[in-house]
Amino acid sequence: MPVFYRVVHTNPPTADDFRSDRELGRPPPGQRWAHTWDGFSVMDSEAGARQLVAQYPRMGSFIAAIMVKEGSDIRTERTHNREGHYTMWGAPETVLAHVESLTAVEESGHDHL
């Protein structure tokens, strides 16, 4: 089962941490990536998520590991031509239920939920 990593603001994370860019009122991306507006960004590694926080500290202080189980209502696609970057689509409550662990950015271990 693939695991993806999302930078979140709260411990524990809430459904708000998994709202789409459209729901959050962010401007739509360019035409090429317009279909990603109804999703949100995730990375395919914890290291990739840490790099995002290093570049954009306001993104959040925690990294949620999301395990996408076969048959779930969560969909992912590699997007935005950035190494390890994916867009994830799914109801925020569904994605929240698939969070397997949470790591504080300054820690190296996991807090299992």
DSSP string over 29-82: --GGGGGGGGSEEEESSHHHHHHHHHH-GGG-SEEEEEE--TT-S-EEEE-TT-
Position 11 scores a pLDDT of 95
Q: How far apart are CA 13 and CA 113, in angstroms?
A: 10
Q: What is the pLDDT along the chain (113 residues), one digit of tens a residue?
A: 899 999 999 999 999 999 998 999 988 888 888 889 999 999 999 999 999 999 999 999 999 999 998 889 999 999 978 789 999 999 999 999 999 999 999 855 555 55
State the pairing for strand pair 111-112/75-78.
unpaired
Position 112 scores a pLDDT of 54
pTM of this prediction?
A: 0.88
